[in-house]
Amino acid sequence: MRAAAGSIRSHDWLPGRTLLLAVLAAGLCAAPVLAVAWIALTGETGDYLRHLAGTRLTTYLATSAVVAVIAAGGAGLIGTSLGWLMARTEFFGRRTLGWVLILPLAVPAYVAAYAWLDLSHAGGPLQAMTGGLFPTIRGSWGAGLMFAFVLYPYVYLLARNAFAGQSADASNAARTLGAGPVSAFWRTSLPMARPAIAAGLALVVMESLADYGTVAHLGAPTLSIGLIRAWSGAGSLVDAARLSLVLVLVAILVFGLERAQRSRARNVNAAGRHKPAARLNLNGATGLAALAACLLPLLLGMIIPLGRLAWLALRTETANGLAAASLHSLTLAGITALIAATLGLGTAYALRSRTAIATLAARAAGLGYAVPGAVAAVGVIALLSGIQALIDPAWRAITGEVFPILLTGTGAALVFAYLSRFAAAAISPSETALARVTPSLDGAARTLGATRRRRVWQIHWPLIAAGVTSAGLLVFVEVLKELPATMILRPFNYDTLAIIAHNFAADERLGKAALPSLLIPLVALLPMIFVARYLSRQDR
Amino acid sequence: MADLHTVLSIRGAERRYRADHAALAGADLDLHAGRITALLGPSGSGKSTLLRAIAGLERLEAGSIRFGDTIWNDANSHLPPEARRVGMVFQDYALFPHMTALANVAFGLTGPDKQARALAQLEAAELGQRAKAYPHELSGGEQQRVALARALAPQPGVVLLDEPFSGLDRRLRGELRERTVDTLRAARTTALIVTHDAEEAMAVADQLALMDDGRIIQTGAPDAVWMNPVSATAAKLLGDVEIIETRAGDGQAATPFGAVNAAGFDAGQRVNVLIRPRAFALTASETGDFTITRRRSAGPHLNLRFASEAGDWTAQTPSPSSIAEGDRVSVTLDPVYVRVVAG
């Protein structure tokens, strides 16, 4: 029996096919951004952009900055405190809350915004209860708060891992050097967790910059608003691409800052042997306070807004077409999740081979993190119309007909845009899962006579299944929540839950918007529970 | 040792990971039926690579590995690990984390009675009552025993153990080492144990193989190898040794402690005199040539560092002793622990 030429490392099986998947993932993620950059840099400046540059561009940039700062500040405060409570203390309900606190990720920020504006608008229930004292939640700060309420789990998850992974020795050393417990926290624990917190904050900032529904509803004109107006109002692909490029540059700046933090983190975390810190026992009043601190973000981000929407939905006639829209949402999310999970797993396997191409492909796919949905959509349009223009003359010469329209005819373009934004999100969970299959496990199975097929099904799959499933489910939830790309790329008359909810909310018919708004987090909740429990189990 | 039946034979094994460094640089080794061979070498000497090559997890670039009449690996063939019937105990044990101890042991077995056979194997390791436990529920020692049981269960032609005791604390190590040797002997298995611990290697082995820089530099019975190292490198692998570089003359080699027998070397030939610390006999003497510079107690014996203008050396002498730091001593050598090798 002859083996393939070259080295037989126990882990580099299937290099060819997985490498292909990695390159495909990279292509899907990177192509739209590159198309955007190409159009933006080569196209002619339209009237809209010229007008914009003279009038609203600074407003867009300033509003984006305010929204991002408030979102990051709020999410950072909530996420870091909760992360510390979960990792370092013990109180009644901690174990369950550990994963429940992740669930607000199932609530789209715009859904929270619909409910909070409805609750707090002039003459609304909150103002009635407080005698007009409760401020109406709107504008930049309102939108920032909404993002903080539903996106804090990104910070929470990473901060919790960082605090849990810290050796007690660093803080103990600070204590022996004369620092009190509080000072030791500020001077050792927090700085050591800073890179993780920064990574979480970068995600929060990105998501708030990518959002359209929330800022549109609360009246905070960020860059994405300008982008969507350029496309759907002025109809200019070049202008939209230029604004997209600005947005991507901001995103790259954000992630660049985060990376700069992380490269220094290696020194910070080189604390030597790991000795887990003893949990601080919170009993009585302090325990109750901790419990309240955990329940508050859940109330603000999930229970109050969803409760309000449920109340509204029960009092309003159900809108038409909800069943079809639900089916569309589920189909799009399901297909994208399946493909993304496959691409993510393929890339993770390709990365194991440690070849330069695989690493490059994973990096390129990672670009997707920096691509807001609207940008991905503009990129896909630019790309597909470019291809169309390229093929059309030849097609006509051969068939005598116009080349079929690739763009709006099918949901394929939409799935493409989703993938370019979310496939990257499926890579790192798969990578983490695959890290459990150590080379020696593979080697052990082989020396015990297991064929490749048996190794895959009896060793690899059981160990990675939960991780790969979570990766897919995470993408599923994200697609379900996605609005701007869907608005731009959906086939004519093809509604999703997010679209219906947005259209009714934009028409100020919140009663009608309530049920579709509610259905998104409700559908997303089950997969989110799976993901949350998986992530929390991983940490232990 | 003429009646030894060679089961596995490795010739000229070569493997390099980087262009400038060969992990295996022409290693030769024979494993004999039913005997335990310990492969001793410093880290980076190629021990683990050799082990992985035997298992088939690593492919040789040159040389061959034969098992009986079957070629496992040579210039144009490579039998994959799953077809070799080797049992391997990995350094991290590599127990499948999602399977019980019983399922781990049964993994390499086939046939309708595989559960029963796996259980019997676990019971032989006195782990029958832990059959339902998952790896993370087992202690380090128990995990090692399950890993050994798993490797032995399919009755492999060769069992390979990669630093099998390195993850365990000192006290448990000795106990588990004895148990492992007993198990391997009871199964009459041909085994190769990789270790970087000389004491461990000598305690477990029927045959000792010393490895350095990708080559096997000496093989033989542990006592014989310890008493007659072929080179300074071999001597150092087996324990502390003082090396005096000098030239032979008149069948003798001069040392600061008197001449030692160097029969068989040409006059003027470079030689290394290898002196085990226990060869030094120290006597307190006002007229002695050496001064004690450091005295450290190591329980049953003392480590005494002594110096003269010619250099400084460490002696291992029985404890207790009245010799103190700063004392002058005279030094003689016990020739049993002194060897002269080519320099």
Where does residue A443 rank: exposed (0-12), middle (13-18), buried (19+ CB within 10 A)?
Answer: buried
Same domain, B37 and B68: yes
Measured in residues, chain B has a length of 343
* A278 in any annotated domain: no
Confidence band, pLDDT 50/70/90 cuts, at residue B142: very high
In the block, which residue shows the tokens 């009871």? B186
> Which 3 state secondary structure label does DSSP give B295?
strand
Q: State whether A443 and B87 contact (CB < 8 Å).
A: no
B42 within domain boundaries? yes
Nearest to A468 by CA among A380, A344, A339: A344
Q: Is residue A275 part of a domain?
A: no
In a shared domain, residues B302 and B180:
no
- Can you read off the two tokens belonging to residue B14? 């070569």
Domain interval for residue B216: 6-231
Measured CA to CA, the distance from residue B240 to residue B275 in angstroms comes to 9
| B206 and B249 both lie in a single domain | no
Give the pLDDT confidence score for residue A476 in this predicted structure.
94
Task: Among B210, B231, B252, give the residue marking a domain's end.
Answer: B231
In chain B, what residues touch A13 (CB-CB under 8 Å)? none
In a domain? residue A250: yes
- What pLDDT shows up at residue A281? 86
Q: How far is A92 from chain B (nearest CA, A)?
A: 27
Q: Do B88 and A462 touch (CB under 8 A)?
A: no
Q: Are strands B311-318 and B328-333 parallel, antiparallel or unpaired?
A: unpaired
Alpha carbon A105 to its chain centroid, in Å, reads: 9
What is the band of A425 on the pLDDT scale with cuts at 50, 70, 90? confident
Preceding amide of B320 cis, omega within 30:
yes
Could you tell me how many CB contacts below 8 A there are between chain A and chain B?
86
**CB-based contact (8 Å) between B150 and chain A?**
yes
Residue A3 lies in a domain: no
pLDDT above 80 for A2: no
pLDDT at A19 > cutoff 90: no
Nearest CA of chain B to the CA of A439: how many Å?
A: 9
CB A248 within 8 A of CB A36: yes
Does residue B343 contact residue B272 with C-beta atoms inside 8 Å?
yes
Distances (CA, A) of A251 to A306, A400, B12, B17: 30, 45, 56, 40
- List the single range of A169-178, A388-397, B25-34, B304-313 with lowest mean pLDDT: A169-178
At A275 the pLDDT is 62
Q: Check if B59 contacts A (Cβ < 8 Å).
A: yes
How far apart, in whole angstroms, are the C-alpha atoms of residue A147 and residue A214? 9
The reported pLDDT for the residue numbered A406 is 63
What pLDDT does A538 receive? 66
**B202 and B301 housed in the same domain:** no
Contact B88 A447 (CB under 8 A): yes
Domain boundary among B208, B231, B254: B231
B89: left (phi over 0), alpha (psi -120 to 50) or beta: beta
Same domain, B175 and B246: no
Return the CATH number at B334.
Answer: 2.40.50.140
Which residues in chain B are closer than 8 Å to A447, comparing Cβ atoms? 55-57, 81-82, 84, 86-88, 108, 151, 160
8 A C-beta contact, residue B164 and residue B197:
no
Nearest Cβ partner for B78 among A8, A436, A441: A8
* Chain B residues closer than 8 Å to A449 by CB: 82-83, 85, 108, 154
* pLDDT at A408 exceeding the cut of 70: no
Tell me the pLDDT tens digit for each residue of A342-377: 998 988 888 887 778 888 888 788 777 778 888 888
Please state, rounded to an integer, the average pLDDT across all residues of chain B. Answer: 91
Record: contact B98-A463, CB cut-off 8 A: yes
Per-residue confidence (pLDDT) for residue A409, from 0 to 100:
59
Chain A hits for B151, CB-CB cut-off 8 Å, are 447-448
Domain presence at residue A281: no
pLDDT at A267: 45
How far are the Cα atoms of A161, A197, A479, B208, B209 from residue A200, in angstroms, in the given order? 11, 5, 20, 55, 53
The domain that holds A262 is classified in CATH as 1.10.3720.10
The identity of residue A201, as a single letter, is: L
Alpha-carbon span B15 to A40, nearest angstrom: 52
Q: Which residues in chain B have Cβ-Cβ distances shorter than 8 Å to A6?
A: 59
Q: Which residue's entry shows tokens 């059981």? A: A462
Residue A427: what pLDDT? 85
Structural domains counted in chain B: 2
> Chain A closest CA to B270's CA: distance in Å?
42
Q: Give me the residues paired with residue A464 across strands.
A: none
Q: Could you tell me if residue B237 is inside a domain?
A: no
- Give the rounded percent of residues in chain A with a pLDDT score beyond 90: 37
Say if residue A212's pLDDT is above 50. Answer: yes
Return d(Cα B48, Cα B192) in angstroms, integer: 11
A461 or A240, which is more confident:
A461
Domain annotation covers residue A108: yes
B313 close to B248: Cβ distance less than 8 angstroms: no
Identify the domain boundary among B206, B231, B256.
Answer: B231
More confident residue, A328 or A251: A328
Phi-psi region of B299 (alpha: psi -120 to 50; beta: other; left: phi over 0): left
Of B92, B97, B108, the CB nearest to A448: B108
Contacts of B82 in chain A (CB under 8 A): 446-451
- Cα separation, A393 vs A413, whole angstroms: 22
A461, closest residue in chain B (CA to CA): B98
Question: Which domain covers residue A20, as residue numbers?
Answer: 15-268+306-539
CA A80 vs CA A74, A294, A300: distances in Å: 10, 12, 17
Which helix or strand (DSSP H or E) is residue A475 part of?
helix A461-481
* A103 contacts A528 by C-beta, under 8 angstroms: yes
pLDDT of residue B2: 45
Beta strands (DSSP E) in A51-146 are 89-90
β-sheet with B311-318: strand ranges across: B280-284, B328-333, B290-298, B301-308, B311-318
CA distance A356 to chain B (A): 16
- Would residue B209 count as lying in a domain? yes
Number of Cβ within a 10 Å radius of residue A247: 27
Is the confidence at residue A270, as pLDDT, over 50? no
Tell me if A300 is assigned to some domain.
no
- Nearest chain A residue to B110, by CA: A449
pLDDT band, residue B295 (cuts 50/70/90) = very high
- For residue range A133-154, list pLDDT tens digits in order: 888 888 999 999 999 999 999 9
CB atoms within 10 A of CB B330: 15
Residues A58-111 have pLDDT tens digits of 889 999 999 999 999 999 999 999 999 999 899 999 999 999 999 999 999 999
CB atoms within 10 A of CB A358: 23
pLDDT (tens digit per residue) in A282-308: 888 999 999 999 999 999 999 999 999
CA-nearest of A108, A213, A96, A154 to A522 is A108
B55 with B151, same domain: the answer is yes
Note the pLDDT of residue B173: 86
A448, A454, A458: best to mutate for the B interface, most B CBs within 10 A: A448
Nearest residue on chain A to B151, judged by CA atoms? A448
Q: Which B residues 80-119 touch A at CB under 8 Å?
A: 80-88, 90-92, 94-98, 107-108
Q: What is the DSSP string of B1-19?
A: -TTPPEEEEEEEEEEEEET
Cross-chain Cβ contact B92/A448 below 8 Å: no
Q: In chain A, how many domains are there?
A: 1
Q: Is the pLDDT of residue A250 over 50?
A: yes
DSSP state of A167: B
Judge whether A10 lies within some domain: no
Residue A384 exposure: Cα atoms within 13 Å on the Cβ side: 21
Look at residue A263 and tell me whether its pLDDT is greater than 80.
Answer: no
Residue B109: closest C-alpha in chain A:
A448
Asked whether residue B61 falls in the same domain as residue B151, the answer is: yes
Integer angstrom CA distances of residue B256 from A309, A426, B246, B303: 95, 71, 11, 19
- Are A443 and B90 within 8 A, CB to CB? yes
Supply the pLDDT for residue A45.
Answer: 67
Which B residues, 19 through 58, put their C-beta within 8 Å of a C-beta on chain A?
52, 55-58
Please choose, from the candidates B33, B27, B32, B76, the residue with its C-alpha nearest in 3D space to the C-alpha of residue B53.
B27
